[in-house]
Amino acid sequence: MRVLLIVDVQNDFLPTGALPVPEGDAVVPVINQLQPHFDLVIASQDWHPRDHGSFADNHPNTEPGQTITLDGLEQILWPVHCVQGTKGAAFAPGLDTLRIEAIIRKGMERKIDSYSVFFDNDHRKDTGLGGYLKARGTEQLYLCGLAEDVCVLFSALDARNLGFETYLVTDATRGVDLNKGDIDRARQQMHDAGVQFVESSEIAP
């Protein structure tokens, strides 16, 4: 059973969005081409309440990019993004959603962020995705989407910890690179954790 997990391909992560990922829109046609080659397609959405603690706007005298302590945990502050029900939180235009069998929404708890699609950033709460994927007989898990050095990274690391044979589709993801080198460091971390790298042409020739 080969599964594709499409991470956070949402308007706010496109180059014109609130938290722009450079070339983020380039992943859409690649992901559409990939989908028919999988037994199961799952997607996630970053889905924050407007008063979410990861928004700089919700803390006086702060700017996006700054780090604060949120409920005892280090938290990078971001621009307001992916607010529940807004256009920014919707899937990117052109993303083929018909084959998506389950959608996991995350980041709904005000006092904790959730980069990984499996757990929040302190592993307090399980989204259930790991159990779902195991129940569905997942053998190989392929990740794609946005952002490579944030939500894709943490999802891939958790996937390895949960024992999945994990792949990153390298041309179906893009990173923010908030601090220069973040994307390279993310790749290194994934490599060290046993994530394998593939190109879409190896899956969908």
DSSP one-letter code for 59: S
Residue 28 interacts with which of Zn ion, ligand VGL, none, CB < 5 to 8 Å by class:
none
**Per annotation, catalytic residue among 12, 106, 120, 144:** 106
User: What does the binding site for ligand VGL look like in residue numbers (CB under 6 A)?
Assistant: 8, 19, 46, 78, 146-147, 150-151
Residue 42's SS3 state is strand
CB of 202 to ligand VGL, least distance (A): 24
CB of 139 to ligand VGL, least distance (A): 26
**Is the Cβ of residue 116 or residue 200 nearer to ligand VGL in the bound state?**
116
**Is the Cβ of residue 4 or residue 146 nearer to ligand VGL in the bound state?**
146
Distance of alpha carbon 167 from alpha carbon 30, whole angstroms: 15
What would the two tokens of residue 198 be?
Answer: 């593939």
**Is the Cβ of residue 3 or residue 81 nearer to ligand VGL in the bound state?**
81
Q: Give the DSSP per-residue string, 104-145.
A: EEE--STT----SSSB-TTS-SB-SHHHHHHHTT--EEEEEE
Q: Is residue 148 within the footprint of Zn ion (CB under 5 A)?
A: no
What would the two tokens of residue 150 be?
Answer: 């944030």
**Residue 8 a catalytic site member:** yes
**Residue 106 a catalytic site member:** yes
| Nearest to 83, CA basis, from 127, 19, 26 | 19
Q: Is residue 46 within the footprint of Zn ion (CB under 5 A)?
A: yes
- Scanning 67-75, 106-114, 119-127, 186-194 for contacts with Zn ion by CB under 5 A, the matching segment is 106-114
Residue 172 interacts with which of Zn ion, ligand VGL, none, CB < 5 to 8 Å by class:
none
C-alpha dihedral (7, 116, 175, 85), degrees to nearest 10: 50
Q: Is residue 120 within the footprint of Zn ion (CB under 5 A)?
A: no
**Residue 151 a catalytic site member:** yes
**Is the Cβ of residue 74 or residue 163 nearer to ligand VGL in the bound state?**
74
**Is the Cβ of residue 106 or residue 187 nearer to Zn ion in the bound state?**
106
Residue 40's SS3 state is strand
Residue 32's SS3 state is helix
**Per annotation, catalytic residue among 12, 113, 149, 151:** 151
| Nearest to 48, CA basis, from 78, 15, 93 | 78
Name the residues annotated as catalytic. Answer: 8, 106, 151
